[in-house]
Chains A and B, each alone.
Chain A
Amino acid sequence: MSRRRGDGRRGLVAAGLVALGLIGAAIGVVAALGSSGSTDAPPAAHAATKHGRHHHRKLPPLPEAPAPAFKVGKPIYLKHVGDLSRYAPVLRVVDALAEPRASASSVAPLYTTTSDGTTNIVLVIGHPHTDAHGRVWVKVRFPSLPNGLTGWVPRNALGLMVLVRTHLVIDLEHLRLTLLRNGRPIFSAPVGVGQPQWPTPRGSFYVRDKLTEYASPFYGPIAFGTSARSEVLTDWPDGGFVGIHGTNEPQLIPGRISHGCVRLRNEDILRLARLLPVGTPITIK
């Protein structure tokens, strides 16, 4: 394998110029030594060679360098490389396409903000793909009807990728919500879910945003918006999104009580809110 030759001659010239610059810096060393006289070698070693150089035979030992102020530890290799999630904000309005190429059909448009006024984020899934033109595409999950659609967008339509280690699991049969971090449960609580005629949809979703400090006791102190949408309440304002929030009727939990949202007792949603970052993937089963 041939290597680019690099700077070759230019490198030597550059090195020479740099060296000249260095001489200026180092002259101070020599000059200082000259003015104070040579003090490093004992008189016996001053015998000059024919090159005028001194024999440095009996030098005092060089002091030990100071110990490092702090330690740099072992390299930190990643665990969980495959099974963590990422999300990214949508930077410009763009169509999510069925395949990673510009000519593919559109699955859905993606916007930059949500109706809550928060940045619209999408879950990034799988590996990116570079097309024949060198353009990088990423596969994303977004809110959709029917639920569960994914599509491809150009990487440059999205902003920074944010890593998420948590995973929220909502068990509709056992009426239980469990939060996992790095695969291990760290929080669990009973929930109220959709009534039979307004079922909470099953599938893969993610936490879309977080609302706080609103005055609406029906929703408790904190509400999380998810990417899940009700498949029956399609005329609901702002699209009929499923949320995770508190309640002013805790006595109903656990139970099948809501229009599709996942309700927690207020003390539970407050605990959950300290542990649940936006962007967390959700499995509703």
Chain B
Amino acid sequence: MSHELTLEGIDRSATIAEAQDRLLGSQTRGGLLRRMAALGAGGALAGGVMAALPQVARAATQNDIDILNFALTLEYPAAAFFTEAERNGALSGETAVAARVIGAHERAHVRALRHALGPKAVKRGHYDFGDATEDQQKFHDAGIWFENVAVGYLKGQAPLIDSDAILVVALGLHSVEARHAAWMRRIGGDVPAPSAFDAPITRESAISQFRARGYLAIEPKTTVKKRAPTVTG
């Protein structure tokens, strides 16, 4: 029986800067790393640890790991968005159904990517969706954006993937995101398939769009060191 992916308990120490680093850092090294083997953590892993890594983390090129992590970086907020919307309980009708189903899919995507990448998976960030998870109209707008950008960047990254076996997975995810996109558009009153050919988007475009949406947030600072308590005792 499937159980909810717990987004808490995952290391929440990622700051915006770290998230940006992760998003952008590997891009410039991409050309070099595509032709290099990554021996995992600088090659310092003992045989036992390597054996415990999921097969993708063990056997994928650094390029492919980067691409999967890039996908994960954007799957995290997508999953969080639909999850929060469902929990808020402010949506109704087919919109609420879509939030539930699409959320279930995005959570499955996060889990699959995290499981495949193992210790190489990027950490989840913190996301503030404002009232986009409470207001039906804003939910439509944000949901359409999430799905369209997923289709676009998966499409753009697919030809860059080294491993065919990983490419097959990327294509299967890409198709589902396109279904989500069409569904969200239809709910919002738009034509589900606006053109005969869908264009890819670059990694940079996906990142800058995500930044522009303003969803990245910093974890609230609720722990403090070296201050004596002033509670009543």
A151 within 8 A of B: no
Q: How far is the CA of A118 from the CA of B227 in the complex (A)?
A: 11
Contact status A74-B108, CB under 8 Å: yes
Contact status B8-A165, CB under 8 Å: yes
**Interface segment, B26-34, B54-62, B141-149?**
B54-62
Contact status B90-A130, CB under 8 Å: yes
- Residues from chain A with a CB closer than 8 A to the CB of B121 are none
Partner of A76, one of B108, B127, B186, B189: B108
Chain B window 27-52, contacts with chain A (Cβ cutoff 8 Å), 1 for yes, 0 for no: 00000000000000000000000000
Contact status A164-B194, CB under 8 Å: no
B231 within 8 A of A: yes
**Interface segment, A32-40, A51-59, A168-176, A231-239?**
A231-239
User: How many of A's residues come within 8 Å of B, CB to CB?
Assistant: 86
Contact status A209-B224, CB under 8 Å: yes
Interface centre among B3, B134, B173 (most CB of A within 10 A): B134
Partner of B109, one of A19, A66, A72: A72
Chain A window 70-96, contacts with chain B (Cβ cutoff 8 Å), 1 for yes, 0 for no: 111111111111101010010000000
A6 within 8 A of B: yes
Closest CB-CB distance, B147 to chain A, in whole Å? 15
Q: Select from chain B the residue with minimum beta-carbon distance to A76.
A: B107
Contact status B223-A212, CB under 8 Å: yes
**Interface segment, B17-25, B98-106, B204-212?**
B98-106
Q: How far is the CA of A241 from the CA of B108 in the complex (A)?
A: 42
Contact status A156-B112, CB under 8 Å: no
Q: Which of B35-91 contact A (CB under 8 A)?
A: 54-56, 60, 83-84, 86-90
- Residues from chain B with a CB closer than 8 A to the CB of A279 are 222
Contact status A70-B103, CB under 8 Å: no
**Contacts A15-B197, A118-B224, A155-B134 given: A73-B229 contact, CB under 8 Å?**
no
Closest CB-CB distance, B200 to chain A, in whole Å? 11
- Residues from chain A with a CB closer than 8 A to the CB of B54 are 70
Contact status B196-A213, CB under 8 Å: no
Contact status A214-B229, CB under 8 Å: yes
Closest CB-CB distance, B161 to chain A, in whole Å? 10
Contact status B86-A198, CB under 8 Å: no
Contact status B56-A230, CB under 8 Å: no
- Residues from chain A with a CB closer than 8 A to the CB of B133 are 161
**Contacts A66-B164, A223-B229 given: A76-B197 contact, CB under 8 Å?**
no
Closest CB-CB distance, B97 to chain A, in whole Å? 12
Q: How far is the CA of A18 from the CA of B155 in the complex (A)?
A: 15
- Residues from chain A with a CB closer than 8 A to the CB of B224 are 116-118, 209-212
Q: How far is the CA of A80 from the CA of B86 in the complex (A)?
A: 11
**Contacts A68-B169, A165-B6, A261-B232 given: A213-B116 contact, CB under 8 Å?**
no
Contact status B191-A127, CB under 8 Å: no
- Residues from chain A with a CB closer than 8 A to the CB of B111 are 73, 76
A190 within 8 A of B: no
A185 within 8 A of B: no
Partner of B189, one of A4, A210, A215: A4
Closest CB-CB distance, B174 to chain A, in whole Å? 12
Q: How far is the CA of A117 from the CA of B225 in the complex (A)?
A: 10
B93 within 8 A of A: no
Q: How far is the CA of A12 from the CA of B173 in the complex (A)?
A: 27
Partner of A73, one of B8, B112, B227: B112
**Contacts A65-B164, A69-B163, A116-B230 given: A78-B223 contact, CB under 8 Å?**
no
Partner of A89, one of B84, B104, B220, B228: B220
Partner of A66, one of B165, B197, B232: B165
Q: How far is the CA of A80 from the CA of B126 in the complex (A)?
A: 22
- Residues from chain B with a CB closer than 8 A to the CB of A136 are 90, 131, 134-135
Contact status B115-A156, CB under 8 Å: no
A159 within 8 A of B: yes
Contact status A6-B222, CB under 8 Å: no
17 residue pairs from A and B, CB less than 8 Å apart: A14-B195, A68-B172, A69-B168, A73-B108, A78-B103, A81-B89, A117-B224, A119-B222, A136-B134, A160-B126, A163-B84, A210-B222, A212-B224, A215-B228, A241-B230, A242-B232, A243-B229
Known: A77-B104, A79-B3, A210-B224. 15 other contacts (CB 8 A): A12-B196, A19-B196, A72-B109, A75-B107, A76-B2, A76-B107, A76-B108, A82-B89, A115-B230, A116-B224, A130-B90, A210-B223, A219-B229, A233-B232, A279-B222
Task: For the complex of A and B, list the 8 residue pairs with the smallest distance between their C-beta atoms, beginning with the closest.
Answer: A6-B191, A243-B231, A75-B104, A160-B128, A69-B165, A15-B196, A136-B131, A259-B232
